[in-house]
C-alpha cells in the first residue's frame, strides 16, 4: 500500500505547465482526494432546516413573488457544507419548500429530473399528473416522474406548503436538466388511481395482468393509509423491530422512481435505535412528533415539519420524545447506488 504519494511540488514547473497547456494533469498528487482509503471524502453536513423558523419566510414569499413571476414559488434547502449556490441538500437530493395560495395555479410543464411532493400543511391544493388530479393533504406523497406533465392548483382557503424532492443535482451534474412548457391539462372527473385502482396491497386491476407493467401506475400515496399501515405494523412487531415501510410501484414491487427512494417510519414513544449504516445519502422529514437524531456524533433535535440531511456512510441513531409516536418520511439515493453497484450496508 502506498503511504506517501508525490506532490505537484515534486514536479518541474515546465513539466506541469506543459501538461496544463494541453488540459492534462497528473493523477498521483490528487489520488487520495478522489480515492481516499476506508471512507469517502464528504462535504455534506448533518443539518436541520427548522420549519417553525422558515414558515414565515415561506408565507412572505407569497407576497413578494406573484406566481406569474415565480412559476414555482420555492425556497431551496441548501446544505451549508455544499454551498448555498449549488442548491443541494445532499450531492444527489434537491429539496425545496413550495407555496401555493388559494386561487393560484402553477403552470403545466415537464422536465428531465424526477420529482416528488410531500405535503406539509394546508388543504385544497392539488397536483395534476398526466391528466390525473391528485388531492394534496398533509403527509401525502405525489410523484412527478421524469418527462411527465404536471401542474399545481388550489381550490381551498388557506396556504398549502409542500416539500419538493428532486434528483436535480445528479441530472444537472451530467448536463441533462431541462424543462418544457405545456398547455393546461385536460382533467378527467375520475378519482386518482390511489383511490380506485390500488387501494389494497396485493390487489391490482385484472387487466394489468395482460399488459406490460406500467412505469408509474400510482402517483399519489395518501398519508392516512400509510399512517394506519405503520400503526398496524408496529403493533405486530417486537418492540426492538423497526416499523418502516417503503413506497413502491404496486404492480412490480420496485422502488417508485429510478434515482431516489422513499419510505415512512414510525418511532414508538421513547423508542431509540440505530439505523442501518448505509452508503447512500438521505434526508428525513418529520411528519408528526418530536425527537433527536445523532448523526456521526452530532445530535440534532427535531419536531414536526423539520427536515434533516444525512451524509453518505453516516452512523445514525433516532429517538422519539414524549408519549406520542413520531413519524418520519425518508428520501434517499439508494436506488441509484443499487443500479450502479455501489450500495452497501455496514
Q: Say if 203 falls within a structural domain.
A: yes
User: pTM of the prediction?
Assistant: 0.95
Q: Say if 11 falls within a structural domain.
A: no
Say what the pLDDT of residue 191 is: 86
Q: What range does the domain containing 308 cover?
A: 47-339
CATH of the domain at 329: 2.60.120.10
Task: Decide: residue 243, CB within 10 A, 0-12 exposed, 13-18 middle, 19+ buried.
Answer: buried
Whether the per-residue pLDDT at 2 is higher than 70: the answer is no
Q: Say if 18 falls within a structural domain.
A: no
Say what the pLDDT of residue 166 is: 98
Say what the pLDDT of residue 242 is: 95
pLDDT digits (tens, 9 = 90+) for 139-186: 999 999 999 999 999 999 999 999 999 999 999 999 999 999 999 999
Q: Say if 92 falls within a structural domain.
A: yes
Q: Select from 248, 291, 283 the least CA-distant residue to 266.
A: 291
CA-to-CA distance for 69 and 160, rounded, in angstroms?
A: 18
Say what the pLDDT of residue 201 is: 84
Say what the pLDDT of residue 208 is: 85
Phi, psi of 118 (to 5 degrees): -125, 115
Q: Say if 249 falls within a structural domain.
A: yes
Q: Say if 215 falls within a structural domain.
A: yes
Q: Say if 33 falls within a structural domain.
A: no
The cell 420549519 sits on which residue?
51
- The predicted model gives 52-73 an average pLDDT of 97
Q: Say if 149 falls within a structural domain.
A: yes
The cell 431516489 sits on which residue?
260
Domain count, the chain: 1
Residue 132: beta bridge partners? Answer: 129
Amino acid at each position: 500500500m502506498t503511504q506517501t504519494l508525490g506532490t505537484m511540488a515534486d514536479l518541474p514547473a515546465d513539466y506541469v505547465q506543459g501538461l496544463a497547456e494541453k488540459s492534462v494533469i497528473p493523477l498521483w498528487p490528487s489520488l487520495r482526494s478522489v480515492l481516499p482509503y476506508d471512507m469517502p471524502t464528504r462535504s455534506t453536513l448533518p443539518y436541520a432546516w427548522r420549519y417553525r423558523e422558515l414558515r414565515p419566510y415561506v408565507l412572505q414569499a407569497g407576497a413578494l413573488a406573484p406566481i406569474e413571476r415565480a412559476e414555482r414559488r420555492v425556497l431551496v434547502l441548501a446544505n451549508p457544507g455544499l454551498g448555498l449556490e449549488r442548491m443541494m441538500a445532499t450531492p444527489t437530493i434537491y429539496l425545496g419548500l413550495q407555496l401555493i395560495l388559494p386561487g393560484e395555479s402553477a403552470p403545466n410543464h415537464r422536465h428531465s429530473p424526477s420529482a416528488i411532493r410531500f405535503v406539509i400543511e394546508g388543504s385544497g391544493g392539488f397536483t395534476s399528473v398526466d391528466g390525473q388530479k391528485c388531492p394534496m393533504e398533509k403527509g401525502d406523497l405525489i410523484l412527478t416522474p421524469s418527462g411527465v406533465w404536471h401542474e399545481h392548483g388550489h381550490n381551498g382557503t388557506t396556504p398549502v406548503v409542500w416539500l419538493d424532492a428532486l434528483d436535480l443535482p445528479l441530472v444537472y451534474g451530467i448536463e441533462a436538466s431541462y424543462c418544457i412548457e405545456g398547455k393546461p391539462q385536460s382533467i378527467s372527473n375520475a378519482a386518482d388511481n390511489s383511490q380506485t385502482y390500488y387501494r389494497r396491497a396485493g390487489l391490482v386491476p385484472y387487466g394489468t395482468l395482460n399488459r406490460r407493467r406500467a412505469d408509474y401506475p400510482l402517483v399519489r400515496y395518501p398519508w392516512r393509509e400509510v399512517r394506519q399501515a405503520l400503526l398496524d405494523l408496529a403493533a405486530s412487531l417486537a418492540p426492538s423491530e423497526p416499523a418502516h415501510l417503503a413506497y413502491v410501484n404496486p404492480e412490480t414491487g420496485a422502488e417508485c422512481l429510478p434515482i431516489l427512494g422513499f419510505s415512512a417510519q414510525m418511532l414508538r414513544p421513547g423508542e431509540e435505535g440505530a439505523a442501518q449504516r448505509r452508503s447512500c445519502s438521505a434526508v428525513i422529514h418529520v411528519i408528526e412528533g418530536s425527537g433527536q437524531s445523532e448523526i456521526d456524533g452530532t445530535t440534532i433535535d427535531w419536531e414536526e415539519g423539520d427536515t434533516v440531511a444525512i451524509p453518505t456512510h453516516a452512523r445514525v441513531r433516532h429517538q422519539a420524545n414524549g408519549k406520542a409516536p413520531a413519524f418520519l418520511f425518508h428520501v434517499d439515493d439508494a436506488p441509484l447506488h443499487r443500479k450502479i453497484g455501489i450500495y452497501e450496508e455496514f
